[in-house]
Amino acid sequence: MIRYRVALLLVTAAALPGCARTINLEDPAGPRFGTAGRTERTALADSTPGQITVVTFNVMYGRAIDRAIEVLRTPPLRGADIISLQEVNAAGVARIARALEMEYVYYPAAIHPVEDTEFGAALLSAWPIERDWKLILPHRSFPRRQQRGASAAVLRLGEMRVRVYAVHAELGTGITPWQREDQANRLVCDAWNASEPVVIAGDFNGSDVVLPMNGAGYGWANRDAGPSALFLHLDHIFVRGLEPASSGTVAYVHGASDHRPVWATLRLQAAGAPAAAPVKPRVCS
């Protein structure tokens, strides 16, 4: 834990020149960026798969989009069904989505004070996006007062529906441990009554969220994947109503990021199989 806090302090110090303040995008309806209709790939995605691959990748402010595309086109990430991208801007996520022939939705949480562009988490899908929305997480960071959020959507996988959240949570040096848990709880409470399986994937900036997510009924799909940045477990894939089959990280990112992409393969229930009734967590009462 001491090593984890020291590393976070170093990362935060490097990322806060001048302690500039953020422009937060507070409108719950937008701004929204995304594909207007089906891609050729999603138009052909009409049969329910037996399993899907989910990837989460922090692309370090989208400064090396071509290299990020190269990484995402290389096995084991090639042909992923769902991708959660963090630290991406609108132009960068559009380029990645076009290159991978995926639909996408992106609700940025803020305009980054140093990069001066959109900042947040985007969701890419090889399956049709039926509906989407923006989720603003509670608690702004100190000292920038930066807001965090998630891009959420319901995807149609043949005869099944899956609810997915692409998220980027705040650093543990910017808010308190209780506030970090509260950000995880906000995701849990938004999804608690979903009738479809749920995937929550992104950069959580730490592993302290694993216990509250487990307590809310979510499996840690990348439990055995290894650290995603230095020796730290920052990036995670949590699932409810899906069975984790395998997971891993990609060691070589060719300068695309300071994070390793994390992936997990998930088994789906047969179409029409009864799902367990959702239980409302106490934190959502």
For the residues of 27-92, what is the DSSP string, one character each? -TT---EE-SS--HHHHT--S--SEEEEEEEE-GGGTTHHHHHHHHTSTTTTT-SEEEEES--HHH
pLDDT tens digit string along 77-112?
A: 999 999 999 999 999 999 999 999 999 999 999 999
Distance CA 123, CA 166 (A): 6
pTM of model > 0.85? yes
Report the pLDDT value the prediction gives residue 270, as an integer from 0 to 100. Answer: 55
Helix (H) or strand (E) holding 191: helix 177-191
| Cβ count near 28 (within 10 Å) | 11
Report the pLDDT value the prediction gives residue 10, as an integer from 0 to 100. Answer: 44
Q: What is the CA radius of gyration of the chain?
A: 17
Residues of the chain with pLDDT under 70: 1-21, 270-278
Task: For the chain, give every domain's residue range.
Answer: 2-270
Distance CA 119, CA 140 (A): 14
| Cβ count near 2 (within 10 Å) | 6
Report the pLDDT value the prediction gives residue 275, as an integer from 0 to 100. Answer: 55
Instruction: Report phi then psi at 40, rounded to 5.
Output: -60, -40
Report the pLDDT value the prediction gives residue 5, as an integer from 0 to 100. Answer: 45
Report the pLDDT value the prediction gives residue 276, as an integer from 0 to 100. Answer: 58
Q: Which two tokens stand for residue 141?
A: 């960071």
Report the pLDDT value the prediction gives residue 282, as an integer from 0 to 100. Answer: 81
Single-letter residue type at 183: Q
Report the pLDDT value the prediction gives residue 278, as an integer from 0 to 100. Answer: 67
Report the pLDDT value the prediction gives residue 225, as an integer from 0 to 100. Answer: 94
Report the pLDDT value the prediction gives residue 6, as an integer from 0 to 100. Answer: 42
Fold of 2-270: Deoxyribonuclease I; Chain A (3.60.10)
Single-letter residue type at 79: G
Report the pLDDT value the prediction gives residue 272, as an integer from 0 to 100. Answer: 46
